[in-house]
Amino acid sequence: MWGFFIGRMSGMNTTNHAMQNIPNVDLIIEAHWVATVVVNAPLLEHYSVIVQADAIVDLLPTVLARKQYTATKLVRLDEHILIPGLINCHTHVAMSLMRGIADDLPLMTWLNDHIWPAERAMVSEQFVRDSSLLGCAEMLSGGVTCFNDMYFFPQATAMAVNQAGMRANLGLAVLEFATNYASDADDYLQKGFEAHDSWRGNALISSSIAPHAPYTVSNLTFEKVVTYAEQLGLGIHTHLHETRDEINQSEAQYGVRPIQRLAQLGLLGPNFVAAHGVHLLPHEIDLLAEYGCHIAHCPSSNLKLASGIAPIASLLQNGVNVGLGTDGAASNNRLDMFAEMRLAALLAKGVSEDPTTLPAHQALEMVTINAAKALGLEGKIGSIEVGKQADLVAVKLSDLDISPCYDPISHLVYTCGREHVTHTWVAGELRYSNGVYANIEPIELKEIVQTWQPKLRQYKH
């Protein structure tokens, strides 16, 4: 059909003078359905997205698009829904090589006997680059175009992100204690700013300052983080209220719960993304709402590590913006935003005992526009609108194992899996399609696994 259609357009160009004024664009995507994820906008049927360079330049019915544009590339998606690229709001992509290394263990055993020893022994610039590339490949094939990361050696993750052709908001990790990456909080900060400088001007990579968690970062360091974030105009990304232990420890050490401590230190604000937020009291939810903070809800990880279940229905009712995250592959064990979207929607209903809680369209917003808001990127990504970046994902809705489809949005959330993603574009470039990556060879990923897995195996449960 592709060749046929191009032929028809060329033919029209030669026979109709009026057609000579038709602009030729880089890419036209004709989709059966387009979910723009713009508030109150209807689901579009038989629409085309017109892409020039990295941006969406028009969005119109396909019957009109065929008259108004020609394209260097035309993609017809007769059985697909086109959605904004999915955004993973909290992950540690460089932990991909530790996927499933230690499951079904108490948290402190998991950390002390498996994850931390493995990290101490293995984590290096090369490890982070390799493991991040594996994770980027996994995410691209599952329709993820952007992720919010936090890990050591962020410049090595940036190398993988660049190769994959994805978008990322990379955390400049800060802790008090020494690792292979840095010696103390000031060293972390300095290395973070060097990394930040290294991707300055890169249109696909942005930064946030990422103090690891209230239990690993001192008051003095948090104060520095606030100052630097203000000076550089950066967001702040941290783990917060993930476990009961973290809260008990804070009460013992600081006399207050972590969120109160961070509020006192001036961290809360519209540039603040708290991963998890599992254990929150009503007045803490109010606090998050008042300050315009964002929650990166990680339902799979919170369940798997037995942290608990975040009060999402209550957060939403109180107007707190919530994005979804996978967390790292060591606690999930998939970087799969379809799984998180489905689980978040189901879990919120089950816990609230109200089946109208977190309907499908809202779950889709959480992995697109709401996540973009959390990263301060809602002007660029998160919805399909003219002027925004062409971060787009096609999902085939017609496979027989998921038929019939009555409501494409509901189908996307409750029935589809990431295995139904057929195309992933980032900034107008096709980065993944039907098993093939633009810039990643399967043999390269296989070699990464074969190189590192034997070394990591000694830390396995």
The residues that touch its own copies, with contacts defined as CB under 8 A, are 97, 99-101, 103-107, 110, 134, 137-138, 141-142, 244, 300, 302-309, 332-334, 343, 346-347, 349-357, 359-360, 400-407, 410-411, 414-415, 417, 419, 442, 445-446, 449, 452-453, 456-457, 460-461
Q: What's the min distance (Å) between Cβ of 148 and its own copies?
A: 20
Nearer to its own copies, 43 or 402 (CB): 402
Stated length of the chain: 461
Nearer to its own copies, 292 or 359 (CB): 359
**Alpha carbon separation from 461 to 2, 114, 458 (Å, rounded):** 51, 7, 9
Please tell me whether the peptide bond between 258 and the residue prior to it is cis, using omega within 30 degrees of 0. no
Nearer to its own copies, 70 or 302 (CB): 302
d(CA 186, CA 183): 8
C-beta of residue 279 within 8 angstroms of C-beta of residue 244 = yes
Quick one: DSSP state of residue 217?
S
Q: What's the min distance (Å) between Cβ of 108 and its own copies?
A: 10
Nearer to its own copies, 20 or 458 (CB): 458
Q: What's the min distance (Å) between Cβ of 424 and its own copies?
A: 13
Nearer to its own copies, 142 or 376 (CB): 142
Specify the amino acid at residue 220: L
Please tell me whether the peptide bond between 332 and the residue prior to it is cis, using omega within 30 degrees of 0. no
Q: What's the min distance (Å) between Cβ of 314 and its own copies?
A: 15
d(CA 347, CA 335): 18
3-state DSSP assignment of residue 170: strand
Q: What's the min distance (Å) between Cβ of 286 and its own copies?
A: 25
Nearer to its own copies, 22 or 449 (CB): 449
**Looking at 119-248, which runs of residues are DSSP E strands?**
144-151, 167-174, 205-211, 235-240
3-state DSSP assignment of residue 213: coil
Quick one: DSSP state of residue 110?
I
**Alpha carbon separation from 415 to 67, 385, 409, 422, 448 (Å, rounded):** 35, 26, 10, 16, 33
Contacting residues for 225 by C-beta, under 8 A, at least 6 apart: 174, 189, 209, 211, 217, 236, 267
Residue 220 CA, distance from chain mean position: 30
Specify the amino acid at residue 289: A
Nearer to its own copies, 207 or 415 (CB): 415
Nearer to its own copies, 134 or 367 (CB): 134
Q: What's the min distance (Å) between Cβ of 242 and its own copies?
A: 12
Q: What's the min distance (Å) between Cβ of 244 and its own copies?
A: 8
Q: What's the min distance (Å) between Cβ of 325 and its own copies?
A: 15
Nearer to its own copies, 266 or 359 (CB): 359
Nearer to its own copies, 208 or 357 (CB): 357
Q: What's the min distance (Å) between Cβ of 328 and its own copies?
A: 13
Q: Evaluate the CA torsion angle 98, 101, 102, 108 in order and state its sign.
A: negative
Q: What's the min distance (Å) between Cβ of 65 and its own copies?
A: 27
> Which token pair is 254?
């600081």
d(CA 75, CA 79): 12
Q: What's the min distance (Å) between Cβ of 91 and its own copies?
A: 15
Question: How buried is 366 (Cβ within 10 angstroms: 0-12 exposed, 13-18 middle, 19+ buried)?
Answer: buried
Nearer to its own copies, 253 or 403 (CB): 403
Conformational region of residue 49, where left means phi above 0, alpha means psi within -120 to 50, and beta covers everything else: beta
d(CA 139, CA 134): 9
> Which token pair is 234?
């950066």
